[in-house]
Structure 1
Amino acid sequence: MRTRPLYDIAAVLARIGVGVVFMAHGWQKIEAGVTATSESFDGLGVPLPTAAAVYSAFVELLGGAALIAGLGLPITGALLFVDMVGAFVFVHAGEGLFLVDGTTVENGFELVLVLGMASLLFAAGGGGRLTVDQWIVRKRLRRPEDDEGEEDAKSFVESLRQAETKPLPKPARKPSSPRQEKPPSAPRQEKAPAPPEPTDPPAGDTGGKNTGTEDDTLVAGRRKSPRRRRAPGTDPGDTGPT
């Protein structure tokens, strides 16, 4: 499967090898100059030699670097594949398969065929996961909720581990409540005896005191006779009218 780490490592090595070859050919054309490269293409029968020279030089140099980094692989692979198709059709198709046959340089199409197929594979998504493209995609698609979910899951697993390793605490004994003593009852208060009610002296018994009439009033529990008015003329000092 392509998702296996072994495939990802193999894809990185393949991108590095193919990218180095493309960069070397592109740098060779730029170092020779666009004019010299276009004249060479014109002698080989390539249409629009100047445009073809500029295209092949910069696409091979920059495309090779992009292959190594894994940047824009679908576009980079497609551009390099088109470059190799042009080289195959206009230059190498009629020269046979081998570049060198014995001691003779045949300029065959074996190299452009291999480079073109590798570019097509990278364009179709065969660059593996260890690429700049995959890093950008994962960073854009990663949401803050996913990070929170992962943190919650990690904390939950950690709490389960701690619960398994931590011994269970012994149940604490309930302290026995002390007996509540009843408060001492208040001593009974004896009612004070009521004062004796005053009694009226018997009739006819004056006891050496002046007795009153029936209209006597009670004063401090005793009957007090009101003072009688004396009739005029009874006062010894009153002589009466003369």
Structure 2
Amino acid sequence: MFANKGTGSLIIRLVLGIIFFVHGLQKFQGGIENTSGFFDSVGIPGFMAYVVAAIELVGGICLVLGLGTRIVSGAFFIIMLGAVATVKWSMGFVGGYELDVALMAMSLHLLVSGSSLLSLDRMMFGRAADQNNA
């Protein structure tokens, strides 16, 4: 049942997609203007809040579906790297950026390994989009 190495990637893809979808949704539901103001306060242009929230929301859905997995995972990696560099680093590892590093590692895994099982990437593009998974 778990002999296929794509099973782990599928689990990571689904969990990461849900996490980012919920965070993107939260940014819009909590008032994207508030997020924009926070971005401004840490030296990031406020409009980037809209960009990040949209990438998280739409990218989360795409990951759950397995669509554009490598591209979305790369974008998530960059978002988390930015979060660590601008806000979390000064907080230290525990209670600061440890969860961000875990999300970065998950994103990096999907960037390298591809879509895995049950993905639109694999259904639409075959093995070319998923060469590392058997």
1:97 to 93, 100, 104: 93
TM-score by length of 2: 0.84
Aligned CA distance change for structure 1 residues 139 and 119 (closer, same or farther; 3 Å): closer
In 1: Cα distance, 2:58 partner to 2:71 partner:
12
Aligned to 2:97: 109
Name the aligned partner's letter for residue 82 of structure 1.
Answer: I
Residue 47 (structure 1) aligned with residue 35 (structure 2): no
Segment drifting more, 124-133 vs 80-89? 124-133
Please tell me whether Structure 1 or Structure 2 has the larger radius of gyration of its CA atoms.
1
- Considering only aligned residues, what root-mean-square deviation do their CA atoms show, in Å? 2.0
Q: Distance in 2 between matches of 1:6 and 1:87?
A: 34
Higher strand share: 1
Aligned length: 127
If asked which structure has higher relative contact order (CA below 8 Å, sep 6+), I would say 2
Letter in 2 for 1:55: V
Partner in structure 1 of residue 53 of structure 2: 57
SS at match of 1:109: helix
Structure 1 segments (4+ residues) deviating >6 Å = none
Aligned pairs for 1:131-170 within 5 A: 131-138=119-126
Runs (5+) with no aligned partner, structure 1 = 100-107, 141-242
Q: CA deviation at 1:41?
A: 1.8
Structure with greater proportional helix content: 2
Q: Is the 8 A contact 1:8 1:130 kept in 2?
A: no
1:22 and 1:64 in contact (8 A); partners too: yes
What is the CA deviation profile of residues 80-111 of structure 1, one whole-angstrom value per residue up to 9, with x for unaligned ones? 11111110100101101122xxxxxxxx0011
Structure 2 residues not aligned, in runs of 5+: 129-134
